[in-house]
Every structure is written in C-alpha cells, then in structure tokens.
Amino acid sequence: MTLNRSRHLVLTLAALALSAAIVLGGQRAGVWLGHAPGKGSGVAVSPLDSRPVSERQLAGLQAQLHERPDDIRALAQLGQLYLQRARETGDPAYYPRAEVAFKRVLERDERNVAALTGLGALALARHQFAEALAWGERARAVAPDLAAVWGVVADAQIELGMHDEALASIQRMVDIRPDLASYSRVSYARELHGYPAEAIEAMERAVAAGAPGQEPTAWTRVQLGHLRFNGGSLDGAQADYETALREFPGYIHAFAGLGRVAAARGDWATAIEQYRRATATIPLPEYVIALGEVYAASGDQAAADDAFALVRVQAKLQATGGVNTDLEFALFAADHPAPGDDPRAAVTQARAAVATRPSIHAHDALAWALYRAGEYEEAARESGLALRLGTRDALLHFHAGMIARARGDREAAREHLGEALRINPHFSILHAPEARGILAGQ
C-alpha cells in the first residue's frame, strides 16, 4: 500500500460503530493492557476494597497462581496487570516482573499470542522499538485478525519512522475493531500528519468507546486534553483533565495536565500544587522537569535545581528498569545542562536515540542538541526531518526557528517562530516568551 493511499484511508475515516471497552491496546508512551473491573481475569473484586481495581486483581491473580503455578492464562493476565500497574503508577519496577510472567508463558506455549503481544507492549513501554516490532510480527503471524497485535506493530513502526507501514497497520486495526485503542491510534496518526482538528475528532471517538471509571479511558481523556492544549484551548484542556479526575480519582496524569494549564496562565502556585500532586507517589521525569520549570518561572531557582537534580537520578532508575530514555533525556540535557556539562554529551545521547527510534521527535531532539552545541547546519537538516510529515507541533517549529536564526536566516526564523505561537501561544513557559521576545525585536 502506498503512503498516499494508506494515509487517505486512515486520515479520512468515516464514522464507524463504537464498540465495548478494550482488553488490549496502547498509544504513545503508554500501553493499555488492563482488564475491565471484575472481567476477564476471573478474579473476584470486592466493591468494599478501596484499592485500585488493577491492584486488587493483581493480588487475586498472585493468590490464584500460588495454587496453580502452571496456569498460563493467569500468567499472561498477570503480566498484563503488571504493565497496567506500571502505567498507573509510573513505577518501572513492574517491567521486569511482567517480562518474567510473559516468558514463563512462552516456555509452555511459544505461540501464546497474549504473551507475544504482552512482550511487544513491554518493549514499547521500555522504548525498545525494534524489539517491539519483532514481538509484534511474531504475534501477527499467530493471530493476524487480533486488533491488539496490529496496535503493537503500528506503535513500533511509528517510532521506527516507518510511517507508510504504520498507517496501513492502523487502518487494519480499525477495520478489525473500531474501539478506544484503534481510534486513539487514528488520532495520533492524524496529529503526526498535520490534521489537529481531525485528531481531536478521533480521540473523542476513542473516549466515547471507553468504559467510564477505568484507567484506559482516563488516559485517553488526558490525551484529548493534550490535543486541545496543543491547539491553544486552555479551557477545553482543563475540562478534559478535570473529567478524567472525576472518573478516575487521584490520576497523576490528569494532575499534571492541570498543572500545565495553570502554568500557561501564569498561576505558579496552582501549577506547583498540581505538579507536586502528580509527582507525589512516583516522580515521573516528564512531570518533575515541568515542576522544575515552574519553580524557575516563579523565581525559586533553588527548588528548580533540586527538581532537575532529581530528574538525573530518575534517569538512572529508568535505565535500571530497562527503559531507553535517550530521546527524553537528550532534550532535558539540552535545555537544562548541569554546571560543567559538555553540550556534546546531549548530542551523543540524541544520536543514539535516532539510531534506535528514527521518529520525528528523535530527529527534533538531535536537532536541538546540535543547536545547543553550535552545530547549526546539521541541526537544520535534522529539523527538516522532524517536520517532514507536516506535524503542527509548536515546539518543533520553535526549534526550527531558533536554528534558522542561528544560521542567519531571519525570514525562516520569523516564519517558524510565528507558526509556533500561532499553533499554541502557551506551548512552553520556557520557550514561548523567548519566541515572543525575538519576534518583537525583529
């Protein structure tokens, strides 16, 4: 299937019947593998138990496997629940446990599609995309009509820069099962290819297809909020984050979303409060970085420095959990170098990211690291690769504008910086003021 043909199919999806809540699926940095409360696992869930459903199901499965350790169906479900708990808590310590469970299943049944797909999802969560694609291909050979298999394959293909193949995989997934997991991937494809309004429409379908009160639906609602925020709609984004919190109380990703909205409005106290809620249990690096930036914007540089020091510790913990964070931490190092840091170190890290996941965001990270290191010509080439799909991402355009300015191309700089602010005037409390200042001075 050609790129234009498969792009047309995915990006112009007609209305499709909505189906029930999913069992398997995923999108972006998260992987949806949890069961609906009281369903699928065969484990009774008491409504009087205040623990999260996944935690209760996990305890039930562990007890069940203690009595029947060779129950491979329960083992596969255990692995899936470990991944679900990792998503809910941000704790990478669940990943090795999931891996052990899935591989125990494959020792008994090498064609077990739940374990194959689970290992693919685990590799995605660890940002090991070539490995994820390999597991996904093995699962597809066993069960080509299972939608979740195509989800793993599509996610890996996107991060590996295989956009033609990814669009075809997403279309296949939608054809098999139009639900929360497939609609969310359609949304991401539309977003990447520069169709933000259509991306929101698909994500709204994904939310409508989900079951209220479950973490996958809350995750999807938060992604919808991000799409609205990225388009400059603070009120719309806030409404989605608040809805996610009502339906899934205590959800850290929704707290972080509210922190992002408050920061965009210059309400530093509220932003700090919300980000501290988001990082209270597990300090996910993305949210600790944001908290540090809010501290810095509010004038508390000491607290910002403490937050950024914690991020560096978290980078080591993520690596211990087997998570490849070259892309994320290359960007962090470029924007927040520690005293005495060599900017070339971020370039090395970003090159490693491009080598393993040549996505548009990896090329953007390399472009920005090269810019910080003074390598403007190569930075411009990498920035062009980051923008090759027509993605309407304010940060990508900001980076392109700053690189063009460093190269002396004032016209391109003005166009890209203006485009960043047109897409989302609140895209970054760190960079949006810089873009406005440069344009005002030109």
pLDDT in tens, 65-89: 777 878 889 899 999 999 988 887 7
pLDDT in tens, 386-404: 999 999 999 999 999 999 9
pLDDT mean over 311-334: 84
Work out the pLDDT band at 321, boundaries 50, 70, 90.
Answer: low
In a domain, 167, yes or no: yes
- Phi/psi for 31 (5° steps) reads -130, 125
Domain that holds residue 70: 61-193
CA angle 186, 278, 159 (to 5 degrees): 30
**What's the number of domains the chain is made of?**
1
Helix (H, G, I), strand (E, B) or coil at 110: coil
pLDDT in tens, 186-244: 999 999 999 999 999 999 999 999 998 888 999 999 999 999 999 999 999 999 999 99
Q: What span, in angstroms and rounded, lies between the C-alpha atoms of 60 and 41? A: 9
What is the chain's percent helix, strand, coil content, to nearest 5? 70, 0, 30
Work out the pLDDT band at 316, boundaries 50, 70, 90.
Answer: confident
* CA-based max dimension of the chain: 72
Res 61: pLDDT: 76
Alpha helices (H) along 68-112: 72-89, 94-108
CA angle 312, 326, 291 (to 5 degrees): 40
In a domain, 82, yes or no: yes
For 24, 73, 78, 183, 185, the CA distances from 113, given in Å and listed in that order, are 12, 11, 14, 22, 21
Res 50: pLDDT: 56
In a domain, 389, yes or no: no
Domain at 139, CATH number: 1.25.40.10
DSSP letter at 214? Answer: S
In a domain, 424, yes or no: no
Helix (H, G, I), strand (E, B) or coil at 180: helix
Q: What span, in angstroms and rounded, lies between the C-alpha atoms of 397 and 234? A: 20
Closest alpha carbon to 94 in 77, 79, 75: 79
Q: Name every residue whose Cβ is closer than 8 Å to that of residue 162 and which is 6 or more positions away in sequence.
A: none
In a domain, 95, yes or no: yes
pLDDT in tens, 226-239: 999 999 999 999 99
Please state the length of the chain: 442
In a domain, 358, yes or no: no
Residue 371 has pLDDT above 70, yes or no: yes
* Bigger pLDDT: 2 vs 185: 185
In a domain, 102, yes or no: yes
> Which residue has 């996990």 as its token pair?
58
In a domain, 377, yes or no: no
Mean pLDDT of the chain: 87
Res 91: pLDDT: 79
